[in-house]
Amino acid sequence: MGRWKSGPDARGRFGPYGGRYAPETLMAPLVELAAAYDRARRDRRFGARLDELLATWAGRPTPLTHAARLSAELGGAQIYLKREDLLHTGAHKLNNALGQALLAAEMGKRRLIAETGAGQHGVATAAAAARLGLDCVIYMGEEDMRRQSLNVDRMRLFGAEVAPVGAGSRTLKDAINEAMRDWVTNVRTTHYVLGSVLGPDPFPRMVRDFQRVIGDEARRQLKRATGDELPDLVVACVGGGSNALGIFTAFLGDPEVRLVGVEAGGRGEAPGDHAARFGFGRLGVLHGTHTLLLQDDAGQVLPTHSVSAGLDYPAVGPEHVELARLGRAEYTRASDAEAVAALRLLCRTEGILPALETAHALAEVVKRAPRLGRRRRILVNLSGRGDKDLDSVGAFLDEEAATAARGGES
């Protein structure tokens, strides 16, 4: 990809960020995992096996859709959707979960554990475990089990045990804490399928590499559809940042392509009301990596809020922080209300129900498309489908209506 040199360095650093901040018990296993992953990357047989499963079981390649009616409605740039919502299990998460499950099997680890927020990574890991005949335990915050209950049922059908996490804010961060505790205890038999570009090296690069198929495909598909053109803008939502890096990586070497990541603006700017790490975070260490982190003055991690469980996390993948530092990508945020409005707009104009996470990327498109000419192209990573979010959207709209009614009375 041009002259762009993708990190990390030998110490797992993307510029000053990243690294391997793990308890001693995990240090040797992380080195082992990195070695196994590097071997697998060079192993043609491993690549062929993964490609075959992606094609025949997971449904790759996913289509690229020209969103003609959405583009016309916004009255600006042409919008293209990379349809990861059509991937098996309903989100991009499967690209990574399947890759890591296959690697675990290669390493002789018969037990998979994973954290999940929205439930998509849990469902993907449970499905991959079922397909490969591995045991599977998914850690999920109790609050997320409530708001993503459809996915809890799906995981259980795939034979996974869903372990509720009642600590802290009972969301994604706490699920990762609990998964790490399990891994520290059972590391000899167990692989931890981390679901985003987070955690100690080699996770951020490994997850990115398993996800880059999104951007590689989209780049080819867009060129074919437009007569060899590149997008002017690539937009993706950023929880940990795996779907964003999955689509950004293919364009890093094209300086004319602007890359935009969208995080959760939540319901306001006060601590605890959002998950806007680029807006309000400071550098720190959480879950094994040095990165931007929402924390207080004493270094304690702050609670977060987002209408979407998958973006509701206080830290962000270290490679994103480096891309921001270099000015190669920019990061912005969308509020709960903007995301829900964008979700409804896509439903109405294109007949596609996106995940609430994805809707944050669409909210940014709603802001930018009208300012770009009709010949410009925006590529959006449609990271997942929104069936899981129907209850959350309904509850949000009821709440909004009630607030409006109260406002009307006063």
Partner 1 sequence: MSAISETFARCRAEGRAAFVPFIVAGDPDLATTEELLIALAEAGADLIEIGVPFSDPIADGPVIQAAGQRALAAGATLERILASIARVRGRLGVPLVLFSYANPILVHGAARFAEKAAASGVDGVLIVDLPPEEAAAEVSPALAAHGLDRILLLAPTSGPERIDLVARAGSGFVYYVSRTGVTGEREALAAELPRQLRAVRRRLRLPVVVGFGISTPAQVAAVAPLADGVVVGSALVRLLHDCRDEPERLALVAARARQLAAAVRPAAAEAGGSRRRMRRRGGPF
Ligand X SMILES: Cc1ncc(COP(=O)(O)O)c(C=O)c1O
Residues binding partner 1 (CB under 8 A): 11, 19-29, 167-168, 173, 177, 180-181, 184-188, 282, 284-288, 293, 295, 297-301
Interacting stretch for ligand X, rule CB under 6 A, among 267-275, 298-306, 355-363, 372-380? 355-363
Query: Considering the complex, what minimum distance in angstroms separates the CB of residue 203 from partner 1?
Result: 14
Binds 117: which of partner 1, ligand X, none (CB < 5-8 Å by kind): ligand X
- List the one residue from 155, 213, 238, 276 that touches ligand X (CB under 6 A): 238
Binding span for ligand X by CB under 6 A among 26-34, 130-138, 235-243, 369-377: 235-243
How many other CB atoms are there within 10 angstroms of residue 51's CB atom?
Answer: 12
Instruction: Report if residue 243 touches ligand X, rule: CB under 6 A.
Output: yes
Give the type of residue at 368.
R
Minimum Å distance from CB 43 to ligand X? 26
Our answer to whether residue 115 is catalytic in this structure is yes
CB 304 within 8 A of CB 171: yes
Identify which of residues 20 and 93 has a Cβ nearer to ligand X in the complex.
93
318 counts as binding ligand X under rule CB under 6 A: no
Query: What x/- string results for residues 93 through 132 when contact with ligand X is judged by CB under 6 A?
Result: x-----------------------xx-xx-----------
Instruction: Count the Cβ atoms, other than its own, within 10 Å of residue 16.
Output: 13
Question: Encoding tokens for residue 37?
Answer: 């992953």
**Shortest distance (Å) from residue 194 CB to partner 1:** 13
User: Which of ligand X, partner 1, none does residue 341 bind to, with CB < 5 to 8 Å depending on kind?
Assistant: none
Site string for ligand X, 364-383 (x = CB under 6 A): -------------------x
CA angle 285, 306, 154 (to 5 degrees): 95
Active site (annotated) includes residue 142:
no
Catalytic residue, chosen from 71, 82, 115, 319, is 115
Main-chain dihedrals φ then ψ at residue 261, nearest 5 degrees: -105, 140
Distance CA 197, CA 319 (A): 8
Q: What are phi and psi of 385, to 5 degrees?
A: -95, 160
Q: Residue 333: which residues within 8 A CB-CB, separation 6 or more?
A: 262, 263, 264, 265, 274, 276, 278, 279, 360
Active site residue 383: yes
CB of 186 to partner 1, least distance (A): 7
Tell whether residue 62 is a contact of ligand X (CB under 6 A).
no
- Catalytic positions: 93, 115, 383
Residues in contact with ligand X by CB under 6 A are: 91, 93, 117-118, 120-121, 196, 237-244, 310-311, 355, 357-358, 383-384
